[in-house]
């Protein structure tokens, strides 16, 4: 049975440009701006009736689409640090000094070292171009080394992120790569989703039988699809600015220099109108949005 997929609606803003890529906010991190982008779709276009090709027996489908907004149990913020130096040893020592300053400040705000992990990413040679020689040749030469590491910090109180960012800045660490939302018991959430989806299926079956005098015989679960959407997948960015147009001339001296436009971002949660049931309706704070699409196949009986 081929499923028809449709896009979830997105709130329109009066802006010059609205990007489909993810963007950063307080708890999204730079990966939201420069990293992945996630396209969100409904698992079905609502096709609830069909016929199986094998023996042309009429088949009825009843669907349920359920959303649960889960409050995270804890968070993991990942910071990136890099340092160049003339030698590999020196670049590594400088990185370690900045990390040590950051971790010492974390202890003071209530995040112990046991909840931190430093990951060695890479150590590269750095090349640059030397001034042109007498014959006009410009050559690359080795100028030093660069060491890159990341620091993962786990915490439970979401208000600590502001203090961690400030502590990182004092250590000259300015790259907040991402903030992961951690759900410790996804199995429990999926069990709740299945329970609610089953209730929806049963209610729809009863309504069809009572209102339309239809008699059903359940055959099988046709589709069961779980999905989890984290906040960094749900941020959208846009630029609130308008630019004028310039008519290009043939004068080679004419140049057009554009001003830098400031962009911002906002959280675009899943559209609750697409769901039969929403458990724990979303409040002001970002949550982890867990969904279940359940489709049950029936045969019609006389």
- What's the pLDDT tens digit per position in 35-85? 544 455 566 544 444 445 555 567 889 999 999 999 999 999 999 999 999
30 has a pLDDT exceeding 70: no
Q: What is the rounded (10 degree) CA torsion for 95, 98, 102, 103?
A: 60
Least Cα distance to 23 among 168, 170, 238 occurs for 238
* CA 278 to the chain's CA centroid: 20
Beta strands in 167-254 (DSSP E): 175-182, 215-229, 235-239
Six token digits for residue 206: 């009863």
Instruction: Order the strands of the 235-239 sheet from edge to edge.
Output: 17-19, 235-239, 263-267
Q: Tell me the domains of the chain and their CATH numbers.
A: 17-72+184-242+262-301 (no CATH), 74-182 (3.30.70.2970)
10 Å Cβ neighbour count for 9?
10
34 has a pLDDT exceeding 70: no
Please name the residue that has the structure tokens 């049963």. 202
**How far is 167 from 117, CA to CA, in rounded Å?**
16
**How far is 19 from 267, CA to CA, in rounded Å?**
13
- What's the pLDDT tens digit per position in 9-20? 333 333 333 343
Q: At what angle do helices 160-170 and 88-109 cross, to 10 degrees?
A: 150
The pTM for the full model equals 0.74
Burial label for 260, CB within 10 Å (0-12, 13-18, 19+), is exposed
Which phi-psi region, left, alpha or beta, contains residue 172 (left: φ > 0; alpha: ψ -120 to 50)?
Answer: left
10 Å Cβ neighbour count for 6?
12
Q: Between these two residues, 209 and 65, which has the higher pLDDT value?
A: 65
Least Cα distance to 1 among 45, 64, 66 occurs for 45
Q: Between these two residues, 156 and 241, which has the higher pLDDT value?
A: 156
Q: Are 214 and 60 in contact (CB under 8 A)?
A: yes
**Mean pLDDT, residues 130-157:** 92
Position 101 scores a pLDDT of 96
Six token digits for residue 179: 């903030």
**How far is 235 from 269, CA to CA, in rounded Å?**
8
Six token digits for residue 52: 């199986």
Q: Which of 48-57, 62-71, 221-230, 272-281 has the lowest mean pLDDT?
A: 48-57
**How far is 22 from 286, CA to CA, in rounded Å?**
14
């Amino acid at each position: 049975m081929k499923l028809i997929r449709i896009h979830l609606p997105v709130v329109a803003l009066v802006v010059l440009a609205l990007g489909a890529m993810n963007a950063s906010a307080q708890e999204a991190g730079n990966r939201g701006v420069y990293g992945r982008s996630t396209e969100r779709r409904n698992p079905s276009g609502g096709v609830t009736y069909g016929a199986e090709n094998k023996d042309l027996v009429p088949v009825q489908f009843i669907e349920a689409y359920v959303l649960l907004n889960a409050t995270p149990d804890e968070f993991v913020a990942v910071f990136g640090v890099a340092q160049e130096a003339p030698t590999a040893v020196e670049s590594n020592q400088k990185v370690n000094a900045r990390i040590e300053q950051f971790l010492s400040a974390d202890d003071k705000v209530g995040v112990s070292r046991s909840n931190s992990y430093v990951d060695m990413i890479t150590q590269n040679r750095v090349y640059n171009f030397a001034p042109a020689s007498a014959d006009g040749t410009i050559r690359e030469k080795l100028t030093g080394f660069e060491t890159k590491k990341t620091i993962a910090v786990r915490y439970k109180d979401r208000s600590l992120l502001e203090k961690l960012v400030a502590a990182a800045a004092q250590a000259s660490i300015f790259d907040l790569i991402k903030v992961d939302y951690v759900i410790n018991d996804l199995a429990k959430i999926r069990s709740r989703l299945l329970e609610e989806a089953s209730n929806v299926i049963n209610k729809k079956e009863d309504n069809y039988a009572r209102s339309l005098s239809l008699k059903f015989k359940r055959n099988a679960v046709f589709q069961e699809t779980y999905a989890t959407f984290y906040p960094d997948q749900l941020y959208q960015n846009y630029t609130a600015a308008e630019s004028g147009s310039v008519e290009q001339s043939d004068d080679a001296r004419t140049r057009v220099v554009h001003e830098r436009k400031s962009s911002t971002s906002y959280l675009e949660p899943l559209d609750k109108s697409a769901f039969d049931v929403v458990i724990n309706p979303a409040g002001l704070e970002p949550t982890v949005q867990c969904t279940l699409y359940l489709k049950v196949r029936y045969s019609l009986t006389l």
